[in-house]
Chains A and B, each alone.
Chain A
């Protein structure tokens, strides 16, 4: 399966711990996007990255959240000192380019539960 891979699929963290979510884009895709889906809501854009560059992080909370897409390896979304309000599904998508007609392919998501 050459689709977008995310792991872990489910993650449980206690308040104050760190959460690391990983995303491997589809083969040939160099653009990665992270979205968050809060309960009963649609997906909300968080950040757009290319290899070694953050292009747009306008949807990221100002504190505790960071993202990277290194030259080698998967993209990482990192949440420090998690709080209950961070409980959500986090989806990664990838695309070939930034033209809107380059559809974004989504991974299965990581469901984060903060206890």
Chain B
């Protein structure tokens, strides 16, 4: 069965530093990949997604992620963290042609002043 692993349930970075949130999936067939952000007491907002084509995907708020098939990874990065980036981030996958999203357990990002 498909699974998603997010390394690090809590990540702290200084304001202005690089943000790197890790996501690995288990499928041998490349799935569709998503990153969502959840602010306190709010729903999930889609940051970016990979379905086909270019493996480097740019999303909202300056985030991007690179699909690496050989590493079965889809890590999320942002060159310079901002205080407003503090939130919980979820990686999700779905097998092509299906609607079931499989979510990772989330990474809570803290940005230090």
Complex Cα distance, B43 from A9, in Å, reads 11
Complex Cα distance, B97 from A107, in Å, reads 23
| CB atoms of B43 and A43 under 8 A apart | no
Question: Is B84 part of the contact surface with A, judged by Cβ < 8 Å?
Answer: no
Q: Mark B15-56, 1 if CB is under 8 A from A, else 0.
A: 000000000000000011010100001111110010100000
Complex Cα distance, B102 from A44, in Å, reads 7
Nearest-CB residue, chain A, relative to B103: A42
| CB atoms of B43 and A99 under 8 A apart | no
Q: Kindly identify which residue among B4, B94, B106 contacts A100, using a CB–CB cutoff of 8 Å.
A: B94
Taking the closest CB of chain A, its distance from the CB of B16, in whole angstroms, is: 29
Question: Is A69 part of the contact surface with B, judged by Cβ < 8 Å?
Answer: no
Q: Which residues of B contact A (CB under 8 A)?
A: 4, 9, 31-32, 34, 36, 41-46, 49, 51, 90, 92, 94-106
Please list 29 pairs of residues, one from A and one from B, whose beta carbons are closer than 8 Å in the complex, sorted by A's number: A3-B43, A4-B43, A6-B43, A33-B101, A40-B9, A40-B105, A41-B105, A42-B104, A42-B106, A43-B44, A43-B90, A43-B92, A48-B100, A56-B99, A95-B99, A98-B98, A100-B51, A100-B94, A100-B96, A100-B99, A101-B51, A103-B46, A104-B99, A105-B46, A106-B36, A106-B43, A108-B41, A108-B42, A108-B43
